[in-house]
């Protein structure tokens, strides 16, 4: 795979990696890139008990130090959380009731900065990262 040339391409790469990770860990993908009222939810997944709204944040590590100064989840600030919750409410209003509790997770995808093409070096799943 060629290296991403745009922010959106890197985001898509991270979302694909997060979806594979979640599926491997027993989640079922219900929807991807759900949009409503100008807000977007990257992934909507289910497990046995929950309907989970997932925000994916993808970052390259700093090539000089191989660290990252700010965790990707820090980008999911109060304003971003409000947008995700608003979109989640729209999703719930237009979908069939599933009888599951809702949860908001963040998946951090870390990429290796030393390679020409993207390679995931770590994925961190934060369950219940915030509440509505």
Residue-wise pLDDT for 5-64, tens only, equals: 455 688 899 999 999 999 999 999 999 999 998 999 999 999 999 999 999 999 887 655
> Which residue shows structure tokens 């390259």?
60
- What is the CATH classification number for the domain harbouring 39? 3.40.1350.10
Domain of 76 in residue numbering reads as 7-130
- pLDDT score, position 18: 98
In a domain, 1, yes or no: no
> Environment class of residue 86 by beta-carbon count within 10 Å: exposed (0-12), middle (13-18) or buried (19+)?
middle
CB 34 within 8 A of CB 87: yes
Q: How far is CA 47 from CA 25, 61, 68, 113, in A?
A: 9, 30, 30, 32
Provide the number of structural domains found in the chain: 1
pLDDT, tens digit, for every residue of 90-117? 999 999 888 899 999 999 999 887 766 6
- pLDDT at residue 2, rounded to an integer: 47
Q: pTM of the predicted model, to two decimals?
A: 0.87
């Amino acid at each position: 795979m060629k290296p991403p040339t745009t922010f959106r391409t890197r985001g898509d790469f991270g979302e694909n990696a997060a979806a594979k990770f979640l599926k491997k860990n027993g989640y079922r993908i219900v929807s991807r890139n759900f949009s409503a009222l100008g807000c977007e939810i990257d992934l909507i997944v289910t497990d046995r008990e929950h309907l989970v709204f997932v925000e994916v944040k993808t970052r390259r590590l700093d090539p000089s130090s191989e660290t990252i100064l700010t965790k990707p989840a820090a980008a999911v600030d109060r304003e971003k959380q409000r947008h995700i919750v608003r979109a989640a409410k729209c999703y719930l209003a237009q979908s069939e009731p599933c009888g599951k509790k809702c949860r908001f997770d963040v998946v951090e995808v870390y990429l290796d900065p030393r390679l020409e093409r993207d390679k995931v070096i770590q994925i961190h799943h934060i369950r219940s990262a915030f509440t509505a």
